[in-house]
A and B are shown apart, each in its own frame.
Chain A
Amino acid sequence: MNLKTKFNRLFCLSLVLFILMGVPLQVTASVADPIKYLPVQDAGRIKPYDTFAREALELVYGKSSYKGKTAVEVVSTWMVIPDLWDKIEIVEVRHSGVREALKLEEKRIHYSPIELLNNIRIPLVMQELRSMREKGEKLNPYFQEVQRLENQLSLYQAIKMGLALRVVPQKEKDQWLAVSELTGPLRENFIQITTDFVKAIAAQNSLPPKSGIQESEDKYLGAMGSKISPSQAQNTLKKAVTDFIESARAIDPLNYGTSLAMKLEVHYNQFHPFMWAWIAYLICAILLYSSGVNKNKLLKKLGWGFLWAAFLLHIYGMGLRVYLAGRPPVSNMYETVVWVPWGCMLFALILNRWLKNQMVLIVAALVAVFCLILTDLSPTVLDDSIQPLEPVLRSTFWLSTHVLIIAISYAAFFLAFALGDWVLYLFLRDEKKYQTQISEGVLAIYRSIQIGVVLLAIGIILGGVWADYSWGRFWGWDPKETWALIALLGYIALLHARLVGWVNKFGLAAWSILSFSLVIMAWYGVNFVLGAGLHSYGFGAGGVEYVTAFVAAHLCFVGFVFTVRNSRLGKSS
């Protein structure tokens, strides 16, 4: 026993260490960093160049850095040495149907802009897309990908030609001037930035080790390579950027992005609070679990420390985002996937208070880890860019109340779902031995479902009030609201069935997993699978196969435990 405890402790500590060491080190530093803070007008708001470059690279390449180079460096060199980038495989074409239609080499996912622009089938495919649009037909996944390709190529071309990067406000119009439209001293200023940027890149490239792309860069930059040190080059670049920002700000000081906002957003991009939050949640889960196994007070205290650290990091991240976007954190899929695990943790803290059941905290922490990793893994499905809101969503009071409440009710159901997984696992291990844990777990599931039902009922009714207030329609059977109602009905049926005695402890755990499929449908399915209705501002595409697999896996799990348990009960009686 003692040995086992020791082993457990060792195992857990090494696991924590392993996680800390394996923290994905992001590409962050670059000599080109000073340009990051340059305010850019793009997609209806003012953002730092850092965000612009990340979003552009994510759209074109699918990731926010390219082979160890930051987005800012990559996107800037598109403008400086387009001839090089035209030949680099940087445009992502993920849909195999699109690759087939373009008769592209099947094995690759990335193609060079030249390859695609010279492809004779491109005009044909784009023509098809246009006629689909003219007919007003719904775009299937294939055409959605064609549309993405169109956006990728046109954005790449626009950036290359200096048309997309809008950096100077105008007095009379609210559209800023693109770099190719600049005149006079500002044009001189911007050319200065470009020259200094090239020098900085050359200086950076003069240091070993060199990657393949750097060598080609050198070839193209040619004589620009200079003898100054990278830090010197960076300082010169910084001065050029500061000069440029000063002159640009003088044109329209009120609406030009403040340096605080730019700094905060760059900080938000780089620090990435949600990543640190999930790491802390994971460590917290491991520590709390082993403290339960070992009855170790120190581990427990450490675990709580990590829990609060994670929770606060989570709040910090959401707070930054709310400040930057100027709206509540629930206006797209990405934001809800960040918001829901926070709600899970909140309910876990409350339930732990009531029920003194530490397992709830561990399960909630794991839910948070799962969700927050998800937001990092799938930037194309869960778009993390801050987009302007549809006019109807701009009444923030109603938006915040009804969406926040509905989303947080999903958090309660998510918690019940994850606890259901845990309890079924206990059933599978040994029903008799873990009797108390099972009872405690089931009680926590029951409470979570109750919290969820109360909040979802209130959220749906508030949604009706909002709809009545903005459209004069309390209930319109819109798919999003209907599926929220279906989920509510599912859980209410479950609670009533429990009263009849149709559902025992095992049943409650199993149904908490099965009913969560309804929540997944309401939360994700309506926007990504059905794609109909008035909530069209939340539509997206992708990930259907993964979500289906997730749901199917859980259905199988429930079925498996059910069969195993039944055969055991059959033997014992």
Chain B
Amino acid sequence: MKLKKVVKNLASLRLAVLVIVLLAIIAAVGTIYEAKYDAQMAQKLVYRSSYMYVVMGLLIVNLIAVMVDRWPWKTKHISFVLAHIGIIILLLGSYMTQKLGVDGNLALTMGGANQYVSVDGTELAIFASFDGKGLTPLYQRTVDFLINPPQKEKIVFGREPDQIEVIDYYHYAIQQSEILQSDKPNDGPALRIQLQNSRVNMSQWLKLEPGKDTSVSNLGPAKVVLTLLPYKYEGGNVLVLTPDGERWKYFVFTQSRGGLTGKGKVQEGDQISLGWMELKMTLLRSYTRAREILTYEKRNTPTQQTRSAVKIRYQGDEYWIGLNSVVKLFTSEKMYYISFAQRRIDLGFPIKLQKFNIGRYQGTMRASSYESEVLVPDLGEQKISMNEPLKYKGFTFYQASFEQDEMGKPTMSILSVNYDPGRWIKYFGSLGIVLGVIMLFYFRGLGRSTKSVGIPPITSVPKREVLNELKN
């Protein structure tokens, strides 16, 4: 008796309306998150949040209870049962996809092979090398710093004084490099120059990497060459800088005069005229040896250049590691190699990109179609194009996107890789919903409407609710 009452309450239409409205509100909040941040943020904070699961759970309970409440079913209940069971099956299918499925990206460079699919989630790994050759894995785990920031859940590896500690995390951050004076003998020189005329005003760091003897920068109005060697002129407007103790020797080459038009020495604070485009160069800062330090600046919203980064502490020094990069820590007897990277899944077989074809709309660079010609073990050469996926060993490979250089030459093809055990369950549920909804409204509505004016009573309405309607 009591059970029946509980079922009645759970089956109430009021609960149904409440749940539907809640779902709509949560979904709307999710889209705002996506617009402000990105899809990943919306997924993590809204669509896969615990309150979303609670509301979904309530929905399923409500749907089941209402069907139990109407038991025993009559013919007129077919449409209502079909639609409601369809929704339950669809939700179960989606849950299976989410828990058991794989949904990731496979990036293939031109002519390259890859068997690792990057999927949602990040991984922190620590390796050590004692002889400078082999790497021994010491630590590896999946981390979600967005939900569990390191300040809240401490991640510590090893023991003092040999302890590596994760101390901070930025979800959106922009990498910034800082050039500092160095005392290490193999670091190269660096300088910061400013180029100015009535239209342009820019300043730029130029640096020689350790072991390199030349670096060439195209700074829009000028080509600037930093070199230890004598420079061979090959045309264009060029400024050549060569370190000379604390100072720099400079050589100016002018296109219109076909060669050297000025030379001399500069030091910090000096300004020289280049003679073309009324450009003036100022030497703002000069280091005989310099090193580059990477830091991250926190952002509240993402752009194409932001990525996430973690900060670790080791022996009193702090280091930033951007997503998909590594940091090496040296001590006298060993080296630590720490990586913070997108989680990857091994397909177990490589896919090799043989060729990438782009079709373009006539006379433009706009792609009209694109396809990857890939080499798959056992299957041989296969084509994957938009809307024409490839199925192999349970995985489906879709052509998702590609990257190209400035000349429009493709550099990378990105496939979306998918394994979905819930697919047919979802389709089955969808079929139930569609059939149910059509029957519920369409056939019944058609038969009735011509006979009566005013809203026809719906047959599946329990009597007490009709009474309620009358009361109102």
Contact = CB atoms under 8 A, between A and B. Distances in A.
A154 to B, nearest CB: 15
Given A391-B370, A457-B434, A41 B362 contact: yes
Interface residues of B, number: 72
B138 to A, nearest CB: 36
A504 B20 contact: no
A136 B400 contact: no
Q: Which residue of A395, A454, A531 has the most chain B CB atoms within 10 A of its CB atom?
A: A454
B199 A391 contact: no
Contacts of B17: 493, 496-497, 500, 502
Contacts of A42: 363
Contact of B13 (A44, A468, A499, A505): A499
21 contacts: A137-B303, A355-B450, A443-B449, A451-B441, A454-B442, A458-B434, A472-B417, A474-B97, A474-B423, A476-B39, A477-B27, A479-B34, A483-B28, A489-B27, A499-B461, A499-B465, A501-B470, A501-B472, A518-B24, A530-B32, A530-B35
A91 B43 CA distance: 44
B469 A354 contact: no
Contacts of A446: 455
B361 interface: yes
B418 interface: yes
B304 interface: yes
Contacts of A483: 27-28, 31
Contacts of A478: 39
Nearest to B452: A443
Interface stretch (A20-28, A425-433, A434-442, A548-556): A434-442
Interface string A494-537: 00111111101100100000000010000000100011110000
Nearest to A464: B430
A454 B438 contact: yes
Contact of A175 (B362, B396, B416): B362
B28 A533 contact: no
Given A477-B39, A501-B472, A472 B389 contact: yes
Nearest to B13: A500
B34 A443 contact: no
Interface of A: 41-46, 123, 135-138, 166, 174-176, 255, 354-355, 388-389, 391-392, 394-395, 398, 436, 439-440, 442-443, 446-447, 450-451, 453-454, 457-458, 461, 464-465, 468-479, 482-483, 485-486, 489-490, 492-493, 496-502, 504-505, 508, 518, 526, 530-533
Q: Which residue of A42, A391, A443, A461 has the most chain B CB atoms within 10 A of its CB atom?
A: A391
A472 B28 contact: no
Shortest 10 CB-CB contacts between residues of A and residues of B:
A136-B304, A44-B361, A472-B418, A501-B469, A501-B468, A175-B363, A489-B24, A530-B35, A532-B35, A450-B441
Contacts of B370: 391
Contacts of A388: 361, 364, 366, 368
A442 B34 CA distance: 37
Given A43-B364, A489-B27, A500-B13, A479 B35 contact: yes
Interface string B308-342: 00000000000000000000000000000000000
B31 A532 contact: yes
B276 interface: no
B17 to A, nearest CB: 5
Nearest to A485: B27
A486 to B, nearest CB: 5
Nearest to B449: A354
Contacts of A354: 446, 449-450
Given A450-B445, A499-B13, A526-B31, 9 more contacts: A44-B361, A354-B449, A450-B442, A479-B31, A483-B28, A498-B455, A501-B465, A502-B472, A532-B34
A44 B362 contact: yes
B367 interface: yes
Contacts of A526: 31
B35 A391 contact: no
Nearest to B395: A472
B21 interface: yes
Interface in B1-52: 13-14, 16-17, 20-21, 23-24, 27-28, 30-32, 34-35, 39, 42-43, 47
A530 B31 CA distance: 8
Given A355-B449, A446-B455, A477 B30 contact: yes
A487 to B, nearest CB: 9
Contacts of A44: 360-364, 366, 368
A443 B471 contact: no
Given A470-B386, A486-B24, A499 B103 contact: no
B256 interface: no
A165 B185 CA distance: 60
B393 to A, nearest CB: 15
Contacts of B361: 43-45, 388
